[in-house]
Structure 1
Amino acid sequence: DMPKSAFCANSQAKACAFAIAADLTGSARFPAHLFNTCYTYLAPDDAFSNAISFKPVDGKLKSVISFVSKVEESSEVRRQAARAAEGWYDAFTHDVFG
């Protein structure tokens, strides 16, 4: 089942809005792309992440693909994760608040 995160809530809200818009306009409905990504900072230039995709299975949302940072990742990969977290935050807050 999907975690209770802002990222998941935003993903589910978009899926709901697209379904409503499709019904109101008679447009085609596409399968929802539901996912979650979390970043955790260990230091300003050191972060790790996990990501999960979900799909409906038997009336529930089930995890179908997942990714978790590896312990042995290089400092450069961790630095890139920290930059990705910053980019995600900027895009997410712009998406939610304009």
Structure 2
Amino acid sequence: MTVITNVSECSVGNCSFNHDGCTALAITVSGSADHASCATFIDTSISGGLPKMLAQVGACQRAECNFNHDLMCTAPAVKVGPGADAADCLTYTHA
């Protein structure tokens, strides 16, 4: 079964893809053993992404997350916001 998880919220104000929601086509979740970060985060003055887009999780590198199945996110939705890094996957839960 293919699951495509939407990025339902992004509260990272300085991300080039965040204007009225995440406008990247897809994000990649990465990070370290104790947290997951949004690897798509870019802090520049350039506004990036598509004009109207609800981003999806393209890949998740956090294999130990409860929502990770075959490196795909199975959470109902993902929230991104400040955490240990400037942009973390706040939906991440360690298995």
| TM-score between both structures, scaled by the size of structure 2 | 0.26
Greater Rg, structure 1 or structure 2? 1
Greater RCO (Cα-Cα under 8 Å, separation 6 or more):
2
Of Structure 1 and Structure 2, the greater helix share is in: 1
| TM-score between both structures, scaled by the size of structure 1 | 0.26
